[in-house]
Chains A and B, each alone.
Chain A
């Protein structure tokens, strides 16, 4: 799953550690999510969207949807 965390975080001026603290997770978790090595659970994904004040689909994009959009 793709995500816009690095961009959204940069807009807020937050470090990974700062975002992690807001989410109540480790910095390594935020890093793993941003690099695509880990897909967060639904509760965490909703919390991430809430922190940025966005809808969850504005933060996360399924890989296949992204590929279909490009093919179309």
Chain B
């Protein structure tokens, strides 16, 4: 009915990784970490904006994890996405230790989404409904998290990234648990 042909976009993920590697070589670990975290934040914000219209979710049950699909296909694609998620999680943890504690939320949300693997799912009418309801819930949770983080007087960037983390994690858990039941 709505069997979307997977879009091979994991090559963009490779570009992100290569870009981060270039930043690391030129500007060092901290700048490379910020590059990864900024790109993650921009990607999640874009997905949140387009959810229900363009985005698709990759979900994997029975032991595997869910992941926001950017077109992962085959073992190579899933490996690249997992590598990107791992690098971004490490980058956020690194920055958290560098004086930006809220960024640990980014790492947590990535772990929730990526472990232990990735997969794909046909986003049909039922799953679209789940996504829509999940996005509504996640939006509320994200906004509430933003207010709480702001109340802690955190910098704006950390508030934004923290709110996005709650959004992504809530959406992931909601849809995954709904599909599991």
Residue ranges of A at the interface with B (Cβ–Cβ < 8 Å):
20, 23-26, 28-29, 32-33, 37-38, 40-41, 43-44, 47
Contacts of A44 in B (CB 8 A): 1, 125
Contacts of A38 in B (CB 8 A): 126, 129
Q: What is the distance, in angstroms, from A32's C-beta to the closest C-beta of chain B?
A: 6
Contacts of A41 in B (CB 8 A): 125
B122's closest neighbor in chain A, by CB?
A26
What is the CA–CA distance of A2 and B160 in the complex, to the nearest angstrom? 45
Q: What is the distance, in angstroms, from B105's C-beta to the closest C-beta of chain A?
A: 29
Number of chain B residues whose Cβ lies closer than 8 Å to a Cβ of chain A: 14
Whether B2 sits at the interface, judged by CB under 8 Å, is yes
Contacts of B181 in A (CB 8 A): 37
Whether B179 sits at the interface, judged by CB under 8 Å, is yes
CB within 8 Å: A-B pair count: 42
- Taking A25-B2, A38-B129, A44-B1 as given, write out 12 further A-B residue pairs in contact, using a Cβ cutoff of 8 Å, ordered by the A residue number: A20-B122, A24-B3, A24-B124, A25-B125, A26-B124, A28-B126, A28-B179, A29-B124, A29-B125, A29-B127, A33-B126, A40-B125
Whether B48 sits at the interface, judged by CB under 8 Å, is no
Within 8 A of A (CB), among B102-147: 121-127, 129
Contacts of A32 in B (CB 8 A): 126
What is the CA–CA distance of A38 and B178 in the complex, to the nearest angstrom? 12
- Contact indicator B1/A24 (Cβ below 8 Å): yes
B121's closest neighbor in chain A, by CB?
A26
Contacts of A28 in B (CB 8 A): 61, 121, 126-127, 179
Q: What is the distance, in angstroms, from B5's C-beta to the closest C-beta of chain A?
A: 12
Q: What is the distance, in angstroms, from A20's C-beta to the closest C-beta of chain B?
A: 8
What is the CA–CA distance of A20 and B126 in the complex, to the nearest angstrom? 12
Q: What is the distance, in angstroms, from A40's C-beta to the closest C-beta of chain B?
A: 7
- Contact indicator B1/A47 (Cβ below 8 Å): yes
